[in-house]
Amino acid sequence: MRIAEVMPTPKQMELSEADVALVDHDWHVADESGLMDVGVKFAEAFCIGVNEKPNRVLLQRDTQMRSEEYRLEIAPDAIVVTAAHRAGYLHALATIDQLRDGPMLPCGTVRDWPRCNVRGFQLMAEKIGQLREETIIPLLRSAARHKLNAVLLELGDRFPFEGEHEVIRSPAALTRPQLRRIVDEARDLGLKVIPLLQSIGHLEWLLRHDRYAEIREEEQVRAQLCPSNPRSIAIWGELAGQVIDFIGHVDLLHIGADEARQLGSCARCAATIDEVGVGGLYVEHINRVCEWLDSRGITPIMWDDILCAHQGTIEDLHEAAQIMYWDYWTTQDPSPLLVARGSGGPAVVYDERWDDEWAGELPETTRRTLDRFAQPVALEHALSDRYMDEYRQFLGDRFPKFVRAMPYLEYYLQHGRVVYGAPTCSGNHSFWHTLPDIPRYGENIKTFADRCIEVGAKGMVTSAWYNRSPELLHFGIVATAEFTW
């Protein structure tokens, strides 16, 4: 049986030694998909027409198939592609593209479908200045070719704000025609565009302007909105309105909400904290953001770290909010490493016995990650009672030597939340032979994907934060595709 490396790896693939030649024009597309542009895409890919000649690429529809499932049958005189939806046909075309050797295509059958519903990657254009139209478009095409179906697009001050908020716009902002081409290309490729607009922290690009001084939480870092100031929501809503109106057809919007480290800095917020606590102040603001979106039929997604660090806060979170759970350090399951936010000590820890009693039991990538990022503690005693009351049941029965990888997946699901995993292909600096730490990133992506699939999470979006060569992101795309498919 013939071997061909298609990524992501198909569920079922049997190829013979026979080939079919596709260069002549004796072939045509017979489109029975019932979809507007699918037949055209196949005709363009093969450089053939839609006519009545004998050899054909038949696109047929089977409504019983899963949403992204496809079946590909390649014979000397016909190619039959069967799917239920546009995504299935596009995935089949991506497989054909990888199988082709010039004009030749191997005969055989492929039947394929994903294990994970949402499979995406982040384009953090705000921080990654090398992400311009000419570098973003190839990344989108790579994502589609490897059967991803979502892109998380964070623009910050590189969004082309207009009117009274034009002052925000960076000199490196994308123009409206550039951004229009990016969004349209993504959608044409079958990628859902999920915009991200920070709603409390990481707003240096906004709050450095004196025009917005009234909504700063403090005057030193100038990175966080004041959650007690009603103007904060009003201004955020004006910015969100511009993003939503331009991108169009937005049903999901990521509100950031991570690393709000200046909570309670101003006098008004400090007084509120005395009444409701840090978690209460935070969730009241996030709920106002969520209500703004929910009232417009848009579902909010948020990073989980501040929520996780304030145990019990999730009980008061707006019912529409979905959770995107990030962890860039866990590289195996079970894991010696625990991300213990809000535990009363260091955030990333492991049991100190890994440095002596259990030394030598870990693979190199995990050991290097412990040494670079985590603190050794007496794990059974280092975590606060409140932390243990909230999370102990999710840590697994091998605690404290090991914990379940990404243990908060089950926690969020138990609380009835839609949850996504978020590993990284460029986050938390570490290096591998002077290159970015590809081994850690790869293991982190795989471990998160395996756990998301195991527990039935909604999906996974791989993040990227550093202004490195955009070509690095192709690794994250392919790894995400392979491990979530």
Which tens digit of pLDDT belongs to each residue from 211-250?
999 999 999 999 999 999 999 999 999 999 999 999 999 9
Query: Residue 201's pLDDT band (boundaries 50, 70, 90)?
Result: very high
Q: What is the per-residue pLDDT for 51?
A: 64
Is the overall model pTM greater than 0.85, yes or no? yes
pLDDT for the residue 132: 98
**pLDDT tens, position by position, 386-409:** 999 999 999 999 999 999 999 999
**What percent of the chain lies above the pLDDT cut of 90?**
91
pLDDT of residue 270: 87
pLDDT at 23 over 70: no
Residue 341 structure tokens? 């936010």
User: What are the tokens at 344?
Assistant: 């009363």
Residues 340, 386, 410, 378, CA torsion sign: positive
| Whether the predicted pLDDT of 52 surpasses 90 | no
Q: How many CB atoms lie within 10 A of CB 381?
A: 7
- Res 107 pLDDT > 70: yes
Find residue 420's DSSP bridge partners.
Answer: 324, 459
Contact predicate 452/412, CB 8 Å: no
**Among candidate residues 420, 428, 421, the one with its CA nearest the CA of residue 464:** 428
H or E segment at 28? strand 27-31
pLDDT, average across residues 352-368 = 98
DSSP string, 169-183: --TTPPPHHHHHHHH
Total residue length of the chain: 485
How far is Cα 344 from Cα 77, in angstroms, rounded to an integer? 68
Question: Looking at residue 124, what is its pLDDT?
Answer: 98
Q: Is 356 exposed, middle or buried (0-12, 13-18, 19+ CB in 10 A)?
A: exposed
Mean pLDDT value across residues 440-465: 98
Question: Residue 68 above 90 pLDDT?
Answer: yes
Closest to 60 in 3D by CA, of 38, 31, 87: 31
pLDDT average, residue stretch 200-216: 97
pLDDT band at 21 (very low <50, low <70, confident <90, very high): confident
CA 110 to CA 2: how far, in whole Å?
A: 13
Sign of CA dihedral 49, 55, 60, 65: negative
Are 179 and 138 contacting, i.e. CB atoms less than 8 angstroms apart?
no
Could you tell me how far CA 242 lies from the centroid of its own chain?
23
- Domain boundaries for CATH 3.30.379.10 within the chain: 12-112
> 450, 438, 443: which is closest to 474 by C-alpha?
438
Residue entry with tokens 């091998």: 398
Where in the sequence of the chain do the CATH 3.20.20 domains occur? 118-196+235-249+291-300+322-484
Which of left, alpha, beta for 47 (phi over 0: left; psi -120 to 50: alpha)?
A: left
Burial of 69 by CB count in 10 Å (0-12 exposed, 13-18 middle, 19+ buried)? Answer: buried
Beta strands in 117-247 (DSSP E): 118-124, 150-154, 192-196
Find residue 399's DSSP bridge partners. Answer: none
Around 217, how many Cα atoms within 13 Å sit in the side-chain half-sphere? Answer: 25
Q: What is the pLDDT of residue 2?
A: 84
For the chain, percent of residues with pLDDT exceeding 70: 99
Q: Where are the alpha helices (DSSP H) in 251-333?
A: 267-294, 305-309
Task: Give per-residue pLDDT as tens, 167-176.
Answer: 999 999 999 9
Q: Which of 57, 56, 81 is nearest to 69 (CA)?
A: 81
Question: Which CATH topology does 12-112 take?
Answer: Chitobiase; domain 2 (3.30.379)
Q: What is the pLDDT of residues 303-338, one digit of tens each?
A: 999 999 999 999 999 999 999 999 999 999 999 999
Give the CA distances from residue 163 to residues 166, 210, 317, in Å, rounded to whole numbers and listed in that order. Answer: 5, 17, 33
For the record, the structure tokens of 78 come out as 């016909």
Query: Are 319 and 312 a contacting pair, CB within 8 Å?
Result: no
289 has pLDDT over 70: yes
> Residue for token digits 């991570």?
258
CA-nearest of 416, 463, 457 to 254 is 463
What is the average pLDDT across 432-437?
Answer: 96
Strand pairing category for 78-83 and 118-124: unpaired
441 close to 475: Cβ distance less than 8 angstroms: yes
Backbone angle region of 161, left / alpha / beta, with phi > 0 → left and psi within -120 to 50 → alpha = beta
Stretch (H or E) spanning 386: helix 385-391
What average pLDDT does the segment 400-428 reach? 98
Under a CB-based contact definition with an 8 Å cutoff, are residues 423 and 441 in contact?
A: yes
The residue type of 66 is: R
Position of tokens 């190619």? 79
**Cα end-to-end distance, the chain, whole Å:** 23
The third-level CATH classification (topology) of the domain covering 118-196+235-249+291-300+322-484 is TIM Barrel (3.20.20)
How confident is the model over 117-143, as a mean pLDDT? 98
For residues 147 and 447, what is the distance between their CA atoms, to the nearest angstrom? 19
**Is the predicted pLDDT of residue 25 greater than 90, yes or no?**
no
What the block records as the tokens of 241 is 């309105």
Q: Residue 197: name the closest of 172, 225, 229, 178 by CA.
A: 225
Q: Average pLDDT for residues 132-159, to the nearest whole number? A: 98
- Asked whether the predicted pLDDT for residue 274 surpasses 90, the reply is no
